[in-house]
Structure 1
């Protein structure tokens, strides 16, 4: 009975989030309260359990980066980059989209997709406002590109960090096994965007001419502050890239960076804290608690056990189930708590594999499904939620279905190509 009640609460909350019949923060807080009051979520353990509670690494990573972005914004660098991107693309909408997507996809494997979106989204909004074109399609395309690009490395997507830790996979393992299919998927995605967003491409000659006449260097309001901020940001990027060597979680790197930014900028702290997307952080906390109710009542575990029993010793079927199953389930549950929950199940299946190569193929199928499934809906990955929060705050609201109707198409393409890759590389 308890699993059905938990599933009912989650399903009802997801319905209201998807249809936007109520504020999504209010919905997840009510859903989380229901899970806790009915004893479905594990009580105070939601604040302490790594696998059945709030993922504080995600929350503090977001908080730290929001503070960093708030300080960097004061330098005028986002206006500078916006003008540069507009001039580089000569205002041609598709060329601009490809430029912004490429920047996002190249940065995501080395930062992480959440951090990349927080850096690129403000630039996108500025350039679109300069050209008087709607920024929503560009933001959606960037999020999709970030989730694809972030799959390439151990640190590019938070689920990869969880999988790498549990499976003992290194940074180089991810590069060798994940990067080839990521490059293929992204190349086809760039072509696909030409058709997906064709109705959104607008060319305004007057605005383009005005932007081409601008001198981007004049947008920099405080060059000294920019130099200091970029120095701190460079150290942070090194910290993100070497977190497994330094044994520092990305969240700690972000918080240390935020503290250093406040120190070198001498910014007004209350003013910077107003730049933080508090509603986004609260939304994640509520979502994590609701997912913990599904974990605690055995809903997700039961799904995993059923999958193990159904697979038997057919490991191509196991890889297929992990790939497509993670793509589907990861689209409805944030892929971070989903991966944290399902990793022990996958580990059990891998232990029964007849050889190392077959066992490793299951981990890669799981990672590809979870990463690419993050594009499935507007709440499937942290980067999606963050981008929608930034868009809403800037007055360019993106609805759940506006994002999802593109995300589903890209997810289907990505998962299909990933299956062919897994089959050809590990089973033929």
Structure 2
């Protein structure tokens, strides 16, 4: 019991430090991990085992990949083409990037999507002399919404689909339909909050329309290689399960190939890796892993089951909202991994578990929009923004992200009640 309390206190203190930004978030996460080791709540081997090296591998691989292809001028070329296609209207650019991000995230890893889209967004914003943060925030929200819509869009969905034997088409119907409505509401929300603020600087639009995007291509050969590799990465992420390769293998292979054929300075490419973000994730994985080890996550799951007393609709709603709220501050992978055995146990007792699978799928994935810590894409894109001089604080994110999460849960609740409650 003392270890459970101590692990909980360390996690909450670390979380408070991150939320209040009194301490750098990487420092807070690593310090929390060190305290867990110092008090022998976990040992070094256990701490290492809690780190999801597949996620770390995807991050490192895609950061290296982006670090190479950025030398081709691809981002600038696409940015200018995109801005000119909508005549430099910042709001239309936001809409276009939100839709593109959502679609890509449905079939690609969310982190990969924001790594590719983030630099383009910042480039366009600088050209238009507007704050890129609203568009970056919208992209984060869209990446989590799009990732919820399919079986391969988010790791919890892959886990649920595998354990519950649910098809790709089933995910498109049960998760994809509410996600379409949530995406529409997201655009309305962003229009209401930022529509009047997204105004290009004087003469910025005219300057953009006069730009020749072809002049931004610094290395035509590298650009062609980059486009081919992006297509191969998409195919690799879509098909990785059939070939029994982890997503990290796809990302690291793409990085290795580009480092070999790209002809760029390797040290410079490596310098583009967001090392503080990677260390933050490692610390966070260990903090959450410790909660799992001492039984806190399992206790929370059991509490949910006790409160609902086996009532089908109540259980579905509690699981939806509880998984969303917990996933807004905890990694959704161990959370879903903990909930799966309980749902399977309820199924063995004769309870229809079909609506429960969709409840934890929608809750765990959409809950990632709640706070800056809710999903990998949130942390990665906020890190990129900060590195380019546009920091996204925990409070700034919370102001928009939490309402979006609550609205998403209301839509998901209505959908599940319509599907299974009436």
TM-score range, shorter chain: over 0.9
Cα deviation, residue 30, structure 1: 0.6
Partner of 1:309: 306
Partner of 2:401: 407
Moved more, 339-348 or 379-388: 339-348
Partner of 1:203: 200
Deviations 1:299-345 (A, max 9, x none): 11101111112222201111101100011111111223332333333
One of 414, 417, 424 as aligned partner of 2:411: 417
Does the aligned pair in 1 maintain the 2:319–2:363 contact within 8 Å? yes
One of 50, 54, 58 as aligned partner of 2:55: 58
Does the aligned pair in 2 maintain the 1:89–1:99 contact within 8 Å? no
Does the aligned pair in 1 maintain the 2:90–2:128 contact within 8 Å? no
One of 337, 340, 354 as aligned partner of 1:340: 337
SS in 1 for 2:203: helix
SS in 2 for 1:200: coil
Output the CA distance in 2 between the equivalents of 1:328 and 1:353: 28
The reply on whether 1:352 has 2:349 as its aligned counterpart is yes
| 1:207-246 to 2 correspondences below 5 Å | 207-246=204-243
Deviations 1:15-66 (A, max 9, x none): 1111111111111011011112212235412323xxxx11111110111110
The reply on whether 1:115 has 2:112 as its aligned counterpart is yes
Cα deviation, residue 129, structure 1: 0.5
Cα deviation, residue 190, structure 1: 1.2
After TM superposition, which residue ranges in structure 1, 4 or more long, deviate above 6 angstroms? Answer: none
The reply on whether 1:134 has 2:131 as its aligned counterpart is yes
Partner of 2:186: 189
Output the CA distance in 2 between the equivalents of 1:184 and 1:142: 16
Instruction: Tell me the matched-pair count.
Output: 421
Partner of 1:284: 281
Output the CA distance in 2 between the equivalents of 1:329 and 1:233: 34
Report the RMSD for the aligned CA atoms in angstroms.
1.4
Partner of 2:25: 24
Extract unaligned runs of 5+ from structure 2: none
TM-score normalised by length of structure 1: 0.95
Cα gap change, 1:427 to 1:204, in 2 (>3 Å): same
Cα deviation, residue 200, structure 1: 3.2
Output the CA distance in 1 between the equivalents of 2:401 and 2:107: 23
SS in 2 for 1:374: helix
Output the CA distance in 1 between the equivalents of 2:104 and 2:60: 20
Cα deviation, residue 137, structure 1: 1.0
The reply on whether 1:395 has 2:396 as its aligned counterpart is no
Does the aligned pair in 2 maintain the 1:151–1:160 contact within 8 Å? yes
